[in-house]
A and B are shown apart, each in its own frame.
Chain A
Amino acid sequence: MTDVAVDISNVTKMYGSFTALKDVSLAIQDNEFFTLLGPSGCGKTTLLRTIAGFEDITKGAIRLYGDNIADLPPNKRPVNTVFQQYALFPHMNVTDNVKFGLLRLGQDEATASARVGEVLELVQLTQFADRLPSQLSGGQQQRVALARALAPNPKVLLLDEPLSALDLKLRQAVRLELQQIQHETGITFIFVTHDQEEALTMSDRIAVIADGRLQQVGSAREIYEAPSNKFVADFIGETNLIDVTVTDISNGNATCTLPSGATFTCPAADGAQKGAGHLSVRPERVAMTKPAKSLLQGKASRQIYLGTDMHVEVTLDDQEVVTVRVQNSETTHIPSIGETVGLNFEAGAARLLVD
């Protein structure tokens, strides 16, 4: 047995002439909370469905703990899915929904019932065992869907945007619960979402997907702090993309000229090239100083109140806008509109991106 739970190699999926997945290769580790993140229509759900077996792949291979499962029908794959709209069987009560998969696996009534009791306890639904799905709230239905998928003890659990139908408060509570269940059961979770906050808070590793292509794979911190390209930097969190001219790249560091004419050296993403490029700097990593000792200069043009924080938009001389995040407190100086300010950031806070 290897440490790789799901090995996706060179998977391509075509719908007619439309390419939904383009040469995707990905190794998901055993006992990992792995998230597929991307905007809607990017192919993340398609990728999940190819693992579940609902979509066949045009090219490539999918291995589950070493076995190629690409040609198996969904009912022969030892993975289970939590569906986006839960897809609970409306004519069966909670117990029968959860028991369904166990009976199909040939478990006898007593064994299956015992397992149902176990899983319902895990998701805290024991007292709702006899209810029909229509008699449950959205959050409860979601937990039935989870229990039903966990009951057969799958090697890998696939979750297709399971929280998107819940309201904010509930979503936050269920996130923690899901993480905890993943730790307790030790099952590999593959979680699909378009919500970056969900991805960042829950995942061991994240794969960012756009236009059917894998953009970057890494931990939440890696993806947030060291995005490999413009799409990832822009999609995960907020960032400032500053136009620069790259004059030199060596040892993973880039030397570039800022719009103000200042020269600046910072880490560069793999594959970054000389010439016109973009620096990514997160708003919270930009500091406002006196204009004289700064990398960039501009005028404060807008203030956006965010509660604990405040966004100040600074319009540079070349009309580019840089957003600065400052904490709302009595000691911080917040420039008024029209005030000239200087902007500074550390070399470690900036990163030259691949366009």
Chain B
Amino acid sequence: MAGALTTSKASNNSTYAGLGNLLMLPSWLVIGFFLVLPVGMMLIYSFLTKEFRGGIIWEFSLAAYDQFFFDRGLFGDDPARIEWTYIKIFWRSIWQAGVATFFCLLIGFPTAWFIATRTGNSRSIWLFLITIPYWVNLLIRTISMKFLIRDTGPLNEFLISTGIISDPIHIINTNFAVQLGLFYSYLPFMVLPIYASVERYNFALSEAAADLYASRITTLRQIILPTVKPGIIAGCILVFVPSLGAFLAPDLLGGAKTFMIGSLIEEQFKGNAGNWPFGAAVSMILLSMVLIVLTYYARQQSKSGER
């Protein structure tokens, strides 16, 4: 509050106002060049006509959105019916990302709790261990995962050699493989924000709850979870949003039946067969969905802040 007051006073003074704008310039450049410009381009492209060998023709068209939502037959002159293909891909992506987020939360929360309740040095070591795998490129990690879980990979060979199974479990190219890949890719994005919340948690609250006759499970549900909720929500968003648009895991670990939005968009821009306006339109639909979720979250947050 005090900070805001000082700033508004300073901006009344013309010298400082000029300097302030100048200092804001790098931020405006970054936001303009890396956010507004590319997203703006995609928005415009989605309303243009496709060039058959990739690229665009500068002519307004709703064809991309039309293709997403409606099926007008092979020659485009049948009566419009709802096109389910892409909606199904969206639905599958939401489901896959949701499952991955759920398992990240299931594993991430106890992990974060464990780390946050360690003392001093061992805490930093655990955090370091969590982040180590992420120094390796995502592509390499996803391919390693593929080798680990394929029919003749170490996982199946181990299970067969110990006699637990006689035939390899078929994991690769299934929904589960994709969920596993997403889970593995984004787990730290769940652990770290929850860790940050739990670290600030006042453990006297747990004692107070126990003192007031709450069992451990009640304390977790009624005291701990509501207090660290911001970290949990942040973690879920950080896992869910990139999972939704991921294309490496579905591409490498999944098959034709596990096709997700990320791969759909990628396909439209790669090679000559692409359809740039359609890819741009799918991106825009994905972006608006994410924005709706985030806006809802922000509303909830400001509501609980007002209370």
Chain A positions near chain B (C-beta within 8 angstroms):
52-54, 73-76, 79-81, 83, 85, 87-91, 100-101, 104-105, 132, 148-149, 152
A100 close to B214 (CB less than 8 A): yes
CB interface residues, B 215-235, toward A, < 8 Å: 215, 218, 222-223, 226-227
B226 close to A83 (CB less than 8 A): no
B227 close to A91 (CB less than 8 A): yes
A101 close to B213 (CB less than 8 A): yes
A104 close to B212 (CB less than 8 A): yes
A87 close to B213 (CB less than 8 A): no
Chain B residues positioned under 8 Å from A73 (CB to CB): 210
Chain A residues positioned under 8 Å from B214 (CB to CB): 75, 100, 104
Chain B residues positioned under 8 Å from A53 (CB to CB): 210-211
Shortest distance between the CB of B213 and any CB in chain A (Å): 4
A88–B210 Cα distance when bound, in Å, is 13
A175–B239 Cα distance when bound, in Å, is 52
A85 close to B210 (CB less than 8 A): no
B2 CB–A CB distance under 8 Å: no
Supply 10 further A-B pairs (C-beta < 8 A) apart from A83-B204, A90-B227, A148-B212. Answer: A75-B212, A75-B213, A87-B204, A89-B227, A100-B214, A101-B211, A101-B212, A104-B213, A104-B218, A105-B213
A91 close to B226 (CB less than 8 A): yes
Chain A residues positioned under 8 Å from B204 (CB to CB): 83, 85, 87
Contact digits for B117-160, partner A, Cβ 8 Å, 1 yes 0 no:
00000000000000000000000000000000000000000000
Give 9 pairs: A residue, B residue, CB < 8 Å, sorted on A: A74-B211, A75-B212, A85-B204, A87-B202, A89-B205, A100-B212, A104-B214, A149-B211, A152-B212
**Most chain B C-beta atoms within 10 Å of own C-beta, residue among A80, A89, A132, A149:** A89
A87 close to B212 (CB less than 8 A): no
**Nearest residue, chain A, Cβ from B219:** A75
Asked if A75 meets B211 with Cβ closer than 8 Å, knowing A85-B204, A87-B204, the reply is yes
Asked if A74 meets B210 with Cβ closer than 8 Å, knowing A83-B204, A87-B202, A104-B218, the reply is yes
A89–B218 Cα distance when bound, in Å, is 13
A152–B209 Cα distance when bound, in Å, is 13
Asked if A81 meets B213 with Cβ closer than 8 Å, knowing A90-B227, A91-B226, A104-B218, the reply is no
Contact digits for B271-307, partner A, Cβ 8 Å, 1 yes 0 no:
0000000000000000000000000000000001001
Chain B residues positioned under 8 Å from A149 (CB to CB): 211
A81–B304 Cα distance when bound, in Å, is 28
CB interface residues, B 12-53, toward A, < 8 Å: none
Shortest distance between the CB of B137 and any CB in chain A (Å): 41
Chain A residues positioned under 8 Å from B227 (CB to CB): 89-91
Chain B positions near chain A (C-beta within 8 angstroms):
202, 204-205, 207-215, 218, 222-223, 226-227, 304, 307
Chain B residues positioned under 8 Å from A88 (CB to CB): 208
A90–B305 Cα distance when bound, in Å, is 12
A149–B212 Cα distance when bound, in Å, is 8
Asked if A132 meets B307 with Cβ closer than 8 Å, knowing A52-B211, A90-B227, A91-B226, the reply is yes
Contact among A85, A91, A100, A132 with B209 in the assembled complex (CB-CB below 8 Å): A100
Chain A residues positioned under 8 Å from B212 (CB to CB): 75, 80, 100-101, 104, 148, 152
B211 close to A81 (CB less than 8 A): yes
Chain B residues positioned under 8 Å from A148 (CB to CB): 208, 212
Chain B residues positioned under 8 Å from A75 (CB to CB): 210-215
A85–B218 Cα distance when bound, in Å, is 22
B211 close to A89 (CB less than 8 A): no
Shortest distance between the CB of A278 and any CB in chain B (Å): 41
Chain A residues positioned under 8 Å from B218 (CB to CB): 104
**Nearest residue, chain A, Cβ from B223:** A89
**Nearest residue, chain A, Cβ from B213:** A104
Chain B residues positioned under 8 Å from A85 (CB to CB): 202, 204
Asked if A87 meets B210 with Cβ closer than 8 Å, knowing A75-B215, A104-B218, A132-B307, the reply is no
Shortest distance between the CB of A70 and any CB in chain B (Å): 16
Chain A residues positioned under 8 Å from B223 (CB to CB): 89
Chain B residues positioned under 8 Å from A152 (CB to CB): 212-213
Chain B residues positioned under 8 Å from A54 (CB to CB): 207, 210-211
**Nearest residue, chain A, Cβ from B218:** A104
Shortest distance between the CB of A90 and any CB in chain B (Å): 6
Asked if A87 meets B307 with Cβ closer than 8 Å, knowing A75-B211, A104-B218, the reply is no
A100–B213 Cα distance when bound, in Å, is 9
A237–B90 Cα distance when bound, in Å, is 76
A105–B213 Cα distance when bound, in Å, is 7
**Nearest residue, chain A, Cβ from B204:** A87
The 10 closest A-B pairs by CB, nearest first: A101-B212, A104-B213, A87-B204, A87-B208, A74-B210, A91-B226, A81-B211, A75-B210, A75-B213, A104-B214
**Nearest residue, chain A, Cβ from B206:** A87
A89–B202 Cα distance when bound, in Å, is 10
Chain A residues positioned under 8 Å from B307 (CB to CB): 132
**Nearest residue, chain A, Cβ from B304:** A91
A6–B155 Cα distance when bound, in Å, is 60
Chain B residues positioned under 8 Å from A100 (CB to CB): 209, 212, 214, 222
**Most chain A C-beta atoms within 10 Å of own C-beta, residue among B202, B207, B213:** B213
**Nearest residue, chain A, Cβ from B215:** A75
Asked if A87 meets B207 with Cβ closer than 8 Å, knowing A148-B212, A152-B212, the reply is yes
Shortest distance between the CB of B210 and any CB in chain A (Å): 4
Chain B residues positioned under 8 Å from A80 (CB to CB): 211-212
Chain B residues positioned under 8 Å from A89 (CB to CB): 205, 208-209, 223, 227
Chain B residues positioned under 8 Å from A104 (CB to CB): 212-214, 218
A88–B213 Cα distance when bound, in Å, is 15
A319–B215 Cα distance when bound, in Å, is 62
Chain B residues positioned under 8 Å from A90 (CB to CB): 205, 227
A76–B214 Cα distance when bound, in Å, is 9
